[in-house]
A and B are shown apart, each in its own frame.
Chain A
Amino acid sequence: MAELTADTVPIRIHRRGMPRWTMAWPALAWWTVFFIVPLLWIVVYSFGSRPGAEAPGPVALETLSFDNYRQALSEIFFRVFQITMRTAGLGTILCALFGFPVAYAIAMHVPARWRSILVFLLIVPYWTSFLLRTFAWRIILAPQGTLSDVLQALGILSRPLLILDSNAAVQLGIVYNYLPVMILPIYVALERIDTSLIRASMDLGAGPLRTFLQVTLPLAMPGLLGGLVLTFILAAGDYVVPTILGGTKGLMVGNLIATQILASQNLPLGSAMAVMLIGLLAGVLILAGLVLFVLQRLLKLARGAPL
């Protein structure tokens, strides 16, 4: 008979009679019925067409075609798509530039007992109503508002502040709303770094800059990349910020899709646009994975080579 140790017995008893992952089934069933099936319907609808005046329902599925995709690639959609990518891309870069020093400060230069509090302070506004925080910027940036008055009194502006309902306002709203999404993953990566590695690098004669570039930054790379991807995906699919701050001039893909569905009643075209958005975001995700892979390879090469 095999020897029974204190470790093996309870686990065997504990596991007996309980199938491996039954407890995870109800949620999976729920998601399948109300998340996966709806997504498949979007794909089906994107190949449909608008029904005739007398036909019932929002979409005709008798003849399926790529017409909606062709229409979606028309000039206006392509233009808005371009603007969306630019706004989300620039917003992501700005978030990284503004956010990295914050994550670095919290992880490396703040006493440990303060860290949880700062992370808490970072998350609370992010989890609180997106709508209202975005709406508040309309008060701050209003042409008749206090900021506008102050800037004019100081002589910085010669006329009222006219930034609302433009791309610039949308850009600001994007950076503001997604900054915590960028800071947190970077912070998590930095916080995990064993500081003795940094001390070792300094002891071996590397200056602060070289230590940062060759030790800290590579170790923070997974967090940075995670933050970049997450921020870009959320920003590119945003609807609330351009709706509230963009007016008619600051359109993004989200507005265009919502307009097709809610105002123009063109569900097939809106569905096709949604599928294209998802396809593009999936492409970005795959690209980011490839970049991470190549970076890690390069890093290994660099470590092997004398510098």
Chain B
Amino acid sequence: MTATINRQPANPGRRLLLAWMVAIFVFLYLPIIVIIIYSFNGGRNLYVWTEWSTHWYGVAIDNPRALSALYVSIRTALINAVIAVAFGVFAGIALARRKGAWTVPYLGLIFVILGIPELVSAIGQMIWFDRLGIFDGITRLSIGHSLFNVAVVALIVRARAEGLGETLEHAAADLGARPWRSFIDITLPLMFPAVLAGLLLSFTFSFDDVIISLFVQRPGTSTFPIYILSAMKAGLKGDVAALAVMMLIVSMIGIAIAAWLIARGGRGRTLGGLLG
């Protein structure tokens, strides 16, 4: 009876558990696989499988409205990512290296920003941007997307800074480096993987965003996901699926690299801790 957990015998309970785990992973990836397969459906009706074809990819690429929406999305995502990193990196380092009474309410605000229904935050921004009336479409979108992403970058950088500890900064101080010098020469370079991960995540989250964009966009600056959403409402055709898959591939590559960078820095726990 004793120490059964050590040997992990192939008992039926354990097998059942692992089978369930595999089934859930299949469930999570099923829609992604299905949409990729169906984007190659040559038939007129997206839902009814007829034959393999890249026909709809040709149609999708030859669509000026989709391309201009894509251009808006890329510009927005880039500006947003720069803002997110510029503010988030310093906030993250401060959270790890300058702990104090301020840390708890500050982290509280971050969790409110991450947890609040996006819809509510989007309505507030729409009201505020309309009242200010000074920003153009891309600026409204970039600022709107950046709020969430500054918080994401701050948490990633904080995790990395805490994981590494302060030994190297102490050594630099021992060797006579002034605080700013040690910050620029030691702290910032050490944060590089986290900064890169934050940049990629911010770009992808902005690139995929629907709700903020729906509310803060101005006529003429619709993003790519908004274009896809309206195309979906108008009726599904193969070209929308093809566009969707292209978008999916871009964001999956970005996410995968970012997740790998975060996981490598602090074992799987950091990755889980970001959501948990």
Genuine A/B complex: yes
Q: Does A80 count as interface, using CB distance less than 8 angstroms?
A: no
Hey, which chain B residues are within 8 Å of A30, CB to CB? Answer: 83, 87, 146-147, 150
Q: Of B5, B90, B228, B263, which contacts A23 at CB under 8 A?
A: B90
B127 touching A267 by the CB < 8 A rule? yes
Hey, which chain A residues are within 8 Å of B251, CB to CB? Answer: 127-129
Q: Does A145 count as interface, using CB distance less than 8 angstroms?
A: yes
The interface bits of chain A over 1-24 (1 if a CB of B lies within 8 angstroms of the residue's CB, else 0) are 000000001110111111011111
The interface bits of chain B over 70-108 (1 if a CB of A lies within 8 angstroms of the residue's CB, else 0) are 000000000000010011101101110010101000100
Count chain B CB atoms within 10 A of each CB in A28, A179, A180, A236 and give the residue with the most.
Answer: A28
B47 touching A195 by the CB < 8 A rule? no
| Residue of B with least CB distance to A15 | B179
Q: Of A26, A104, A136, A261, which contacts B32 at CB under 8 A?
A: A136
B214 touching A262 by the CB < 8 A rule? yes
- Total interface residues in chain A, CB < 8 Å: 108
Q: Of A13, A24, A99, A274, which contacts B102 at CB under 8 A?
A: A24
Q: Does B165 count as interface, using CB distance less than 8 angstroms?
A: no
Q: Of A41, A118, A144, A185, which contacts B124 at CB under 8 A?
A: A41
Hey, which chain B residues are within 8 Å of A98, CB to CB? Answer: 24
B119 touching A37 by the CB < 8 A rule? no
Chain A min CB distance to B265 (Å): 11
Known A-B contacts A14-B170, A188-B276, A254-B119; the reply to A146 vs B91 at CB < 8 A is no
Q: Pick out which of these stretches binds chain B: A67-75, A197-205, A287-295, A297-305.
A: A197-205
B123 touching A274 by the CB < 8 A rule? yes
Q: Of B102, B121, B174, B255, which contacts A21 at CB under 8 A?
A: B102
- Total interface residues in chain B, CB < 8 Å: 109
Chain A min CB distance to B147 (Å): 5
B271 touching A120 by the CB < 8 A rule? yes
| Residue of A with least CB distance to B117 | A237
Hey, which chain B residues are within 8 Å of A108, CB to CB? Answer: 5
Chain A min CB distance to B97 (Å): 8
Q: Does A138 count as interface, using CB distance less than 8 angstroms?
A: yes
User: Which residues of A (38-58) have their CB < 8 Å from a CB of B?
Assistant: 38-39, 41-42, 45, 58
User: Which residues of A (87-126) have their CB < 8 Å from a CB of B?
Assistant: 98-99, 101-102, 104-106, 108-110, 115-116, 118-126
Q: Does A77 count as interface, using CB distance less than 8 angstroms?
A: no
A102 touching B20 by the CB < 8 A rule? yes
Hey, which chain B residues are within 8 Å of A137, CB to CB? Answer: 31
Count chain B CB atoms within 10 A of each CB in A131, A239, A270, A278 and give the residue with the most.
Answer: A131
Chain B min CB distance to A269 (Å): 12
Q: Does A168 count as interface, using CB distance less than 8 angstroms?
A: no
B147 touching A146 by the CB < 8 A rule? no
User: Which residues of B (168-217) have their CB < 8 Å from a CB of A?
Assistant: 169-171, 173-174, 178-180, 182-183, 201, 204-205, 208, 210-211, 214-215
**A86 to B210 Cα, complex, angstroms:** 25
Offer 15 A-B interface pairs, CB within 8 angstroms, sorted by A. Answer: A21-B94, A21-B102, A27-B88, A27-B154, A28-B109, A31-B147, A115-B268, A122-B25, A130-B210, A132-B248, A134-B31, A203-B3, A226-B276, A257-B123, A274-B119
Taking A9-B174, A35-B113 as given, write out 19 further A-B residue pairs in contact, using a Cβ cutoff of 8 Å, ordered by the A residue number.
Answer: A11-B170, A34-B125, A34-B146, A41-B127, A42-B127, A104-B17, A127-B201, A127-B204, A129-B248, A131-B208, A135-B232, A136-B34, A180-B275, A185-B276, A202-B3, A227-B276, A236-B117, A237-B118, A274-B123
